[in-house]
Amino acid sequence: MIAHCRAEVGGQLAPRRVFVTDSLPRTEAGKLYRHRLVERFSGVTPR
């Protein structure tokens, strides 16, 4: 996925890490809880 992004948008805009998850934390309004994502993946090794 990272190699594809680098080929399409260049190295500066491509993600450095990719995490795979079954679900994303969301608020009651359906918005993404970004702080909880950071907490969840802060100590995880990316694939």
pLDDT tens, position by position, 1-41: 999 999 999 889 999 888 889 999 999 999 999 999 888 88
Q: Is residue 34 part of a domain?
A: yes
Q: Is residue 26 part of a domain?
A: yes
The yes-or-no verdict on residue 43 having pLDDT over 90 is no
Q: Which two tokens stand for residue 21?
A: 């998850």
The yes-or-no verdict on residue 47 having pLDDT over 70 is no
Q: Is residue 5 part of a domain?
A: no
Q: How many domains does the chain fold into?
A: 1
In whole angstroms, give the CA distance from residue 15 to residue 18.
7
Which domain, by its residues, includes 27? 18-47
| Residue owning tokens 């970004």 | 34
In whole angstroms, give the CA distance from residue 39 to residue 25.
11
Q: Is residue 3 part of a domain?
A: no
Does this model's pTM top 0.85? My answer is no
